Structure formats: structure tokens, C-alpha cells
Amino acid sequence: MYKQPLDPHLMDDLLIDCQSCSGICCAALYFSKIDGFPQDKKAGVPCVHLCQDGLCAIHSDLTKRRLTGCIQYDCLGAGQIVTQSLYPKATWQEYPDKKERIFSDFVKVFQLQQMRWYLLQCTCLKGIEDLLSDITLLLTEIKSAFINQECLKNCSLPNLHERTNIILKEVSRRFSHQWSERPKKPMFSKKFDHQQFVETDFSMSLLIGSDFKNSQLIRVNFLGADLRQVDFSGANLYECLFLTQGQINAAIGNQKTKLPPYLKRPDSWK
């Protein structure tokens, strides 16, 4: 399914680097206690644990405190792009008058990074050679949208979204024969362990708490699926499509879980 050899640095600038950020996600976004964050908080208000240097005061305690929302969140590198490239001389802490703009640009860059993540995954696949020139063009356009503040202001997110969706739908069609655009029924806590799934379409599915222990998942599509507390211990996900680090961080797994290229095994997976 994958072209060989894979470029080990393909996703480098989509990996989070909190040290190069100013803690934007911990201030810009709305979050709630019920989703595993320390408090109910409005968008734009810094978390009580966020330090002036943009780092988390309780970072080493997040697991002990069961702050799963904080552990699972992944900005796909949007935080460091905004801090280092778009606003290199002005963090939101130093320039409160720019705060709103910085936060809304972060949300935009996050969406652009999400599109890049999916499109870059497509470039690793065999059998989509005829789509490659469109994908490459779109990737260049998306990346140039955050070269500077002006480009970001002028870029049309709906247009980029629409073109990305067309490509993802086409790739989904080719890799999962059962793929359908129709909404799926929720499948909370379903038993799927020790089974083989080939080209199954779980895109946009609510699979919270389901059990996929020791399953073989071959060319299974997880685009946008809710995988919170889904158990993938011992499962083979190597050939799954459109998984993100955030989905994997929210799931359960172990050392035997086989992940697709470019995804990191969460530290909590023993």
C-alpha cells in the first residue's frame, strides 16, 4: 500500500514542539473539565496552569491528574508556526492587543496543517499517481498560505477545504470499497476484537470505547473517527488510512500495537 522508501522527514513540520510555542492552545481554545481538561474555560482565556513563558506548570503531572484532554491534544505544529514564523517578535503575552488576531490565526493554521497532514499521507500511497500533481499543487498552496500574516489573511480556507475534500473522497473511494459519504450509526463500546477488517469504512464514525484488541485492520479508513478510549492493544493499524496523532493519543494501545508510519506511540501505551 505504501510507496517505498518512505521519506522519514515528510511530516517533520507537523510534529508538535511545545518548547517553540507560546502556549497558544492552552489559551486560545475553549475546553471543559468533562473532556479531560483542568477546568471549564472560554476560548481566549489562559488556563490557570499556563506559565508566563508559555509552558505548562503541571506538565509532568498531567497523567497522574488524569488530564486526558491535555495529553491527547495535538495542534499538528500550528502553535510553533504561529509563534516562530507568523509572529516571531510578538507573543500574545507580550502584546495583548494582538492576542485575538494571534489566536484566530492559530485556529486557521491548525486547519491548514490538518489538510496538509491528510494530503501528505496520500502522497505515501501507491495507486494514486494520477492525483499526485493536483495534490502537490494543493500542498504548495496550503503551505504558502502561512508564509506571513498577509497571506494567511488573504487565503480562502473554504476553497482549500473543498479541494482537499475532493481528493480525500477520491482516495477513500480507491482504498475502501465500502466507502460511503452517508453518516454512520454510533458504535459505542462495540466488540471488534480478534477480527479482520479489510477496507472497512469507519470514517466519521463514533467508536468511543470500542474494543479492537488484536485485530487486523487492513486499508481501514478512520478519517475523522472519534477514537476516544478505543482499545487497539495488539492490533495492526499499519495500513490504516487517515489516522492522526490526536486520534491515537485518545485511544488505548500497547507495545504490540502496530502504528502507521509517521505516528508516534503514546508514552502511556505500555
- Using CB under 6 A as the criterion, which residues of the chain lie in contact with ligand SF4 when the complex forms? 26, 37-38, 47, 49-50, 56, 58, 67, 70
Angle CA 53–56–60, to nearest 5: 135
Q: Which is nearer to ligand SF4, 37 or 197 (CB)?
A: 37
**Least gap, CB of 46 to ligand SF4 (angstroms):** 8
**Least gap, CB of 66 to ligand SF4 (angstroms):** 11
Placement of cell 471488534 in the chain: 192
Q: Which is nearer to ligand SF4, 68 or 164 (CB)?
A: 68
Exposed (0-12), middle (13-18) or buried (19+): which is 257, by Cβ within 10 Å?
buried
Q: How many residues does the chain have?
A: 270
Contacts of 24 (CB under 8 A, 6+ apart): 54, 75, 78, 79, 82, 83, 92, 102, 103, 106
Q: Which is nearer to ligand SF4, 63 or 144 (CB)?
A: 63
**Spatial separation of the C-alpha atoms in residues 242 and 232, rounded to whole Å:** 16
Q: Which is nearer to ligand SF4, 143 or 264 (CB)?
A: 264
Q: Which is nearer to ligand SF4, 65 or 264 (CB)?
A: 65
| Exposure string over 26-53, b if 16+ CB within 10 A, otherwise e | bbbbebeeeebbbeebeeeebbebbeee
Q: Which is nearer to ligand SF4, 41 or 116 (CB)?
A: 41
Total Cβ atoms within 10 A of residue 205: 22
**Spatial separation of the C-alpha atoms in residues 56 and 58, rounded to whole Å:** 5
Q: Check: CB of residue 48 under 8 Å from CB of residue 33.
A: no
**Least gap, CB of 29 to ligand SF4 (angstroms):** 9
**Least gap, CB of 222 to ligand SF4 (angstroms):** 25
**Least gap, CB of 71 to ligand SF4 (angstroms):** 8
**Least gap, CB of 38 to ligand SF4 (angstroms):** 5
